[in-house]
Amino acid sequence: MRPSKRAADELRPVSLERGFSKHAEGSCLVRFGDTHVLCTASLEENVPGWLRGQRRGWVTAEYGMLPRATHERMRRESTSGKPSGRTQEIQRLIGRSLRAVVDLQALGERQISIDCDVIQADGGTRTAAITGAWIALRDCLTWMRTREMIKTEVLKDHVAAISCGIVKGEAVLDLDYVEDSAAETDANFVMTGSGGIVEIQGTAEGKPFTEAELGTLLGLAKGGIARLVDLQKQAIA
Amino acid sequence: MRPSKRAADELRPVSLERGFSKHAEGSCLVRFGDTHVLCTASLEENVPGWLRGQRRGWVTAEYGMLPRATHERMRRESTSGKPSGRTQEIQRLIGRSLRAVVDLQALGERQISIDCDVIQADGGTRTAAITGAWIALRDCLTWMRTREMIKTEVLKDHVAAISCGIVKGEAVLDLDYVEDSAAETDANFVMTGSGGIVEIQGTAEGKPFTEAELGTLLGLAKGGIARLVDLQKQAIA
Amino acid sequence: MRPSKRAADELRPVSLERGFSKHAEGSCLVRFGDTHVLCTASLEENVPGWLRGQRRGWVTAEYGMLPRATHERMRRESTSGKPSGRTQEIQRLIGRSLRAVVDLQALGERQISIDCDVIQADGGTRTAAITGAWIALRDCLTWMRTREMIKTEVLKDHVAAISCGIVKGEAVLDLDYVEDSAAETDANFVMTGSGGIVEIQGTAEGKPFTEAELGTLLGLAKGGIARLVDLQKQAIA
Amino acid sequence: MRPSKRAADELRPVSLERGFSKHAEGSCLVRFGDTHVLCTASLEENVPGWLRGQRRGWVTAEYGMLPRATHERMRRESTSGKPSGRTQEIQRLIGRSLRAVVDLQALGERQISIDCDVIQADGGTRTAAITGAWIALRDCLTWMRTREMIKTEVLKDHVAAISCGIVKGEAVLDLDYVEDSAAETDANFVMTGSGGIVEIQGTAEGKPFTEAELGTLLGLAKGGIARLVDLQKQAIA
Amino acid sequence: MRPSKRAADELRPVSLERGFSKHAEGSCLVRFGDTHVLCTASLEENVPGWLRGQRRGWVTAEYGMLPRATHERMRRESTSGKPSGRTQEIQRLIGRSLRAVVDLQALGERQISIDCDVIQADGGTRTAAITGAWIALRDCLTWMRTREMIKTEVLKDHVAAISCGIVKGEAVLDLDYVEDSAAETDANFVMTGSGGIVEIQGTAEGKPFTEAELGTLLGLAKGGIARLVDLQKQAIA
Amino acid sequence: MRPSKRAADELRPVSLERGFSKHAEGSCLVRFGDTHVLCTASLEENVPGWLRGQRRGWVTAEYGMLPRATHERMRRESTSGKPSGRTQEIQRLIGRSLRAVVDLQALGERQISIDCDVIQADGGTRTAAITGAWIALRDCLTWMRTREMIKTEVLKDHVAAISCGIVKGEAVLDLDYVEDSAAETDANFVMTGSGGIVEIQGTAEGKPFTEAELGTLLGLAKGGIARLVDLQKQAIA
């Protein structure tokens, strides 16, 4: 039995609240159970230096946590002087995941910055962030289309993410903090609406895992991501 | 007529939502109109080095803004490498304001850290932060009392804050962003429930102001803070 | 009786020594008793990026303390990696105070940087700095006028500053370090030669202060600043 | 045909040169073709603060590149002020991979720091680093055993790593820089001597990849890592 | 003819003003012509970590320049985030020079920090700083002896420093800024009262210099330093 | 007898291995005994801002040490946030030394960056670095000449460097780490192929040294550098 009483392949209650932020071109407060992440999309009319003049745009992401989003208060990253390795790893992952479904040519020479700020954390913040960021990005692109800034389709597909893991020998979907802390293997999957794999990150925390276990985790993830994509479709309907 | 149609001495709609954060010992989402600030209180069982062994506690505050809390996206402070002068000025003000109503001896050798994070900004973030922080601090102290960590009264009084300003020649209360940008004089007042002044910061943005104008602003502030203190009382009732 | 034997409304001996620095376009060593601050004005033929092309100039200030200006040696800010919150608060105050009496259009698209470096500290360094910085700025503008770089009047008025406070229940003017450490209320006032208020910063260090006490402090400040403006007039005569 | 004329499942020439460094307790210059990484193991008689008093040791890793290890000179990280996100990601990966085969209890309350410095880069620096780091770590442990600092077996298994990718539609093993730049999918695998998976990181650079492709890449990796483990065995024989 | 009309072996007017700083245990404002450096000595009752428990003390130095000490305003080092290479080079030189004449055992487990802050610069700031720092250090030691903190002689000799250089083919002593900028060879000498050499730093700015030229410069330096030591003796008489 | 059994005027075995790095325009692994430094020359087609438009080029140097190049592991400079004072001092010295034999006009508006990275340290890293850097620079210039990027002679002479010191009262050449740690006087000399002095840095670590001792050290250095220049000539033959 999982601590949350969920079935092995059961997601936590997920909600996607659009338009949470008054100022952003697109925004979404995503909740995976007690994990709450505010995703905003900000349009900027210039691109990073290395991309200038190439008639292509860019989508990038930044990730942060409020100091008391977690059980113990964490030091604010602005006072420690630099984003931690973990923060940078996550924001690079979010950016790559979104770019996998964006036609950067069609976007034009502009940048969309996605900020994913964890208001409350209970495991799976990066997967919630990716899932909510897709909504913020999509609404930003709709905002641009309304203003005739883009003409052709920029967004090629949905993208969503979920964690899986092996906890006490059992493969389970969408780990909360308690399960995450106890997992022998921890894996994050990012997949598109049409089922393509964008990113797999699997780590043995304790003993190494087998090819068969990897297959089981991948199966769980496919099911979970299909449901997240459905929820994205409902949210934008 | 004010852009928001308010009377000169009228506050924006104010709400104080307690217990917004699952993990913090005390928390409050405070809204002054479209300005939304999440205040959390975190109890830590040690004090800064310079206070050790003195049988007194400490209350400190940190302030941050989500990058897209504002109309234009701002650079994240963790990537710029240090909190800005404005950020430091505000967090020092919040800390001083709260300590003015706290009996640090009665708190015992512990620190309470108040984090005030602006989720959405529309002027007056520092005054909203102080007003909401008092609730978070109060609920943290209640949490401690329930656990018999403190015995005597730690909190001596309410504290709340409001901005006033002279806009187009007229003295007005609780400026929003549009008024704030146009104000000739901008002043922030921090006062206790019993009407004592904790802090005054008045700045002429354009031409210098007179003693009489200072009096008018102080009068507006007294009224506004009295109403904020009433709202604090209702919130904790 | 004050530790320095001064009357409640008595300034410390003040001197304003012009031309202290060989290289600067304007300079002044200001002394408020044992508080000594070197103020230099440096003309730069370009403005900050956000002001470019607007046919307006800028006046900014930086503040520093020599490590052994104080009773205990302080860590050098260049080794701690960034200016402290206090330093930034003070330099922002000095800049705002000077800009309040400068016609930035008349200055033309140039920047004057005022450096205020505390050679020796005994309380009131920020108020001494503002008072001396006005002289350095004025001499820099005279230097420019001699070279026909400016034509119309850039400086609209004098500006000077003084601290007041409530020490052992009595309101006093121009606190030295000993009084400052013991003050229940501490307030800094910046006013123009014609008596307009540019900035008020009043803080209750212990118990909150009343409206009546604020009035008394303001009265002391008006008298003190009038005398400082007289001394500025004598210095430039 | 691959640019290097290698078969799809062929490694580059691999060498493991032990004892490259005079001072380190263990060291190895590992070469995967033109990728050369110097790995050193340094024994330190204390552990990070969060581990103190727990009778367990720690193995950590740091990763760096000489500025001209790459085709274009890169900025030295000590002048940019902090390790980049990529650097941190890699050094966390190396540390996790090694700890997966270390009995931290048996190590005792000590830390072994593995430095992996890229002398010359031609793709696959992180996989070469892990493979060589295992040798440096193993020789450091032998050095300790000689001095009777450890008694039981600390190293539980071999660990090695290899990259795979899909380049022009074909799955290939051990990508060099030219292939890496053109890969549609890029994956790194870390596995033990007994074939357990320690870490999988698979990223679609262009279009998403399928479950079948993941299977093919995993198959290639298993073969490659088995050969690397054989080379490790020869090196220490 | 030198720009300053001085003879080749002539120092600028030198003054050593003791007790310039109210708070420091020892202080000296040293002037070499228009180069003015404030040197303060601060006694601290603990030593750097690496020296603890060795019954020896330490003398260290820090060096800074006020932003407008020079002809063009320089960026303040606290805002650039770290002391420059030049600053660090100079402060290491000052520290080494003073330690050469100090008996660190006799000092006891304490540190004396010498701060050398350039109020106005016109060439030769490091040599003026060393010469003045000796006075500040000496007065700090006298202060300690008065309080019976030290018993035996801590200061073994005088130390002073001077620059020499080859300007337009001629060897000259004590270069001011104009000469320094034009020098083909620039050398700094630190010597003791008894004529021992503590440090030589000679640099060819243009073409290399010869052994004979080095000899000439050394001869000039010996004469100059002898006069500086005389001035130190007069100052403390 | 020296610990290494060398005669007082004997160099350690020196080797200069050209073309060590595949990517750099010029490179050399220089070995002075157990001190091994990799020097690479990187051509960049732009110059620092302050040199732009002056039709002159620039040669600069950076210096680093692998963390375990030394007996005890040192903290990586990228994690400490900035190059140490020692590092900056050395890289400034290397840059100055090379520029002394380069015709910057003839180089054209380009920069050559020399990276000197210590792979293993046993004293004398800066002198080895200068000696090897000359080879890397020379090969970079040859590379440019082959591509007709430069026409006239850019390199005016050889430059090499050696340390000398007084150890247990005896003047010796090319100190290794053991001697360096025990030296009473430590001096580094940089000289050209034609015997001109580019830089002298002599420091008394214990008691001051005399003019006669300086002469002896200079004599040793002249001999040592003549042999290093011979080895450079053989290496490029």
Amino acid at site C215: G
Q: Is E176 on the interface with C (CB under 8 A)?
A: no
Question: Which residues of chain F fall short of a pLDDT of 50?
Answer: none
Cα–Cα distance for residue pair D130/D139, rounded to 1 Å: 14
Task: Count the helix, strand and coil residues of chain F and give each as a percent rounded to the nearest 5.
Answer: 35, 30, 35
Q: Is D69 on the interface with F (CB under 8 A)?
A: yes
Q: Is E204 on the interface with F (CB under 8 A)?
A: yes
Q: Is C201 on the interface with B (CB under 8 A)?
A: yes
**Chain A residues near residue D211 by CB distance under 8 angstroms:** 197, 218
Cα–Cα distance for residue pair E29/E164, rounded to 1 Å: 22
Cα–Cα distance for residue pair D101/D158, rounded to 1 Å: 7
Neighbours of C55 (CB within 10 A): 11
| Confidence band of D80 (pLDDT split at 50, 70, 90) | low
Q: Which two tokens stand for residue D23?
A: 């001072």
Average pLDDT score over residue span A2-17: 97
3 state DSSP class of E210:
coil
pLDDT digits (tens, 9 = 90+) for A65-115: 999 999 999 988 776 667 888 898 999 999 999 999 999 999 999 999 999
**Domains delineated in chain C:** 14-236 (3.30.230.70)
Cα–Cα distance for residue pair E20/A209, rounded to 1 Å: 72
Annotated binding residue at E126? yes
Cα–Cα distance for residue pair A232/A98, rounded to 1 Å: 14
**Chain A residues near residue B83 by CB distance under 8 angstroms:** 78-79
CB-count exposure of residue F34 (10 Å: 0-12, 13-18, 19+): middle
**Chain C residues near residue B84 by CB distance under 8 angstroms:** 88
Q: Which two tokens stand for residue B103?
A: 């009996």
Q: Would you give the end-to-end CA distance of chain D in angstroms? A: 35
Residue of B128, B126, B135 lying closest to B20 (CA atoms):
B135
**Length of chain A, in residues:** 237
CA dihedral of A94, A97, A103, A108, whole degrees rounded to 10 = 10
Q: Is B176 on the interface with A (CB under 8 A)?
A: no
Nearest CA in chain E to F80: E82
Cα–Cα distance for residue pair B136/B46, rounded to 1 Å: 19
Please provide the average confidence, as pLDDT, over all residues in chain A. 95
Say yes or no: ipTM exceeds 0.90.
yes
Taking an 8 Å cut-off on Cβ atoms, the answer to whether C201 and B201 are in contact is: yes
C76, C79, C83: residue with CB nearest E79: C83
| pLDDT score for D84 | 83
Residue of A159, A46, A70, A78 lying closest to A120 (CA atoms):
A70
Q: Give the gap in angstroms from C-alpha E227 to the nearest C-alpha of chain F.
A: 19
Q: Is D105 on the interface with A (CB under 8 A)?
A: no
| pLDDT score for A186 | 95
Bridge-based pairing state of the strands D58-65 and D111-120 = parallel
3 state DSSP class of B33:
coil
**pLDDT tops 80 at residue D82:** no
**pLDDT tops 80 at residue D10:** yes
Taking an 8 Å cut-off on Cβ atoms, the answer to whether E38 and C119 are in contact is: yes
| pLDDT score for E77 | 77
**pLDDT tops 90 at residue C80:** no
Q: Which two tokens stand for residue F23?
A: 């990517």
Residue of B14, B54, B75, B3 lying closest to B229 (CA atoms):
B14
CA dihedral of A13, A14, A20, A24, whole degrees rounded to 10 = 160
Give chain C as a DSSP string.
Answer: --TT---TT-PPPEEEEET--SSSSEEEEEEETTEEEEEEEEEES---GGGTTSS--EEEEEEEE-TTSSSSPPPPHHHHTS--HHHHHHHHHHHHHHHTTB-HHHH-S-EEEEEEEEEE-SS-HHHHHHHHHHHHHHHHHHHHHHTTS--S--B-S-EEEEEEEEETTEEEES--HHHHHH-SEEEEEEEETTS-EEEEEEEESSS-B-HHHHHHHHHHHHHHHHHHHHHHHHHH-
**Cβ F157 vs Cβ F194: under 8 Å:** yes
Kindly provide the b/e burial profile for residues D101-118, where b requires at least 16 CB atoms within 10 angstroms of the residue's own CB.
Answer: bbebebbbbbbbbbbbbb
Taking an 8 Å cut-off on Cβ atoms, the answer to whether E24 and C62 are in contact is: no
Partner chains of F (3+ C-beta pairs under 8 Å) = D, E
Bridge-based pairing state of the strands F185-192 and F159-167 = antiparallel
Helix (H) or strand (E) holding F173, with range, is strand F170-173
Q: Give the gap in angstroms from C-alpha F229 to the nearest C-alpha of chain D.
A: 26
Q: Which two tokens stand for residue A137?
A: 């990005």
pLDDT digits (tens, 9 = 90+) for C19-78: 999 999 999 999 999 999 999 999 998 899 889 989 999 999 999 999 999 999 998 877
Q: CA distances (Å), D82 to each of A89, B35, C63, D190, F131, in order?
A: 15, 35, 28, 27, 30
Higher pLDDT, F82 or C157: C157
Question: Which residues of chain E fall short of a pLDDT of 50?
Answer: none
| pLDDT score for D46 | 87
3 state DSSP class of A79:
helix
**pLDDT tops 80 at residue B192:** yes
**Chain D residues near residue F27 by CB distance under 8 angstroms:** 68
Kindly provide the b/e burial profile for residues F68-78, where b requires at least 16 CB atoms within 10 angstroms of the residue's own CB.
Answer: bbbeebbebbb
| pLDDT score for B81 | 65
Q: CA distances (Å), D142 to each of D45, D148, D232, in order?
A: 16, 10, 15
Cα–Cα distance for residue pair B226/F137, rounded to 1 Å: 75
Amino acid at site F3: P
| Confidence band of B214 (pLDDT split at 50, 70, 90) | very high
Cα–Cα distance for residue pair A111/A167, rounded to 1 Å: 40
Q: φ, ψ for residue A215 (rounded to 5)?
A: -60, -45
Average pLDDT score over residue span B181-205: 96
Q: Which two tokens stand for residue B196?
A: 């004592």
| pLDDT score for E207 | 86
C85, C89, C96: residue with CB nearest B203: C96
| pLDDT score for A83 | 81
Nearest CA in chain D to F83: D78
**pLDDT tops 70 at residue D81:** no
- CA dihedral sign of residues D14, D19, D21, D27: positive
Annotated binding residue at B146? no
**Cβ F121 vs Cβ F177: under 8 Å:** yes
Taking an 8 Å cut-off on Cβ atoms, the answer to whether A69 and B122 are in contact is: no
Identify the bridge partners of residue C64 per DSSP, sorted by sequence position. C117
Q: Which of A132-141, C201-210, E32-41 comes out lowest in average pLDDT?
A: C201-210
Q: φ, ψ for residue E126 (rounded to 5)?
A: -70, -35
pLDDT digits (tens, 9 = 90+) for A147-165: 999 999 999 999 999 999 9
B68, B71, B117: residue with CB nearest A40: B68
SS (H, E, C) F53-96: CCCCCEEEEEEEECCCCCCCCCCCHHHHCCCCHHHHHHHHHHHH
**Chain D residues near residue F90 by CB distance under 8 angstroms:** none
Bridge-based pairing state of the strands C35-44 and C26-32 = antiparallel
Residue of D169, D190, D191, D166 lying closest to D180 (CA atoms):
D166
Nearest CA in chain B to C221: B211
Q: Give the gap in angstroms from C-alpha A85 to the nearest C-alpha of chain D.
A: 5
**pLDDT tops 90 at residue A127:** yes
Cα–Cα distance for residue pair A101/A134, rounded to 1 Å: 9
| pLDDT score for A81 | 65
Cα–Cα distance for residue pair A64/A190, rounded to 1 Å: 20
User: Which of D73, D115, D143 has the highest number of chain F CBs within 10 A, making it the mutation to test binding with F?
Assistant: D73
Taking an 8 Å cut-off on Cβ atoms, the answer to whether C210 and B204 are in contact is: no
Q: Is E174 on the interface with C (CB under 8 A)?
A: no
Taking an 8 Å cut-off on Cβ atoms, the answer to whether E208 and F218 are in contact is: no
Q: Give the gap in angstroms from C-alpha C67 to the nearest C-alpha of chain B.
A: 19
Identify the bridge partners of residue D159 per DSSP, sorted by sequence position. D192
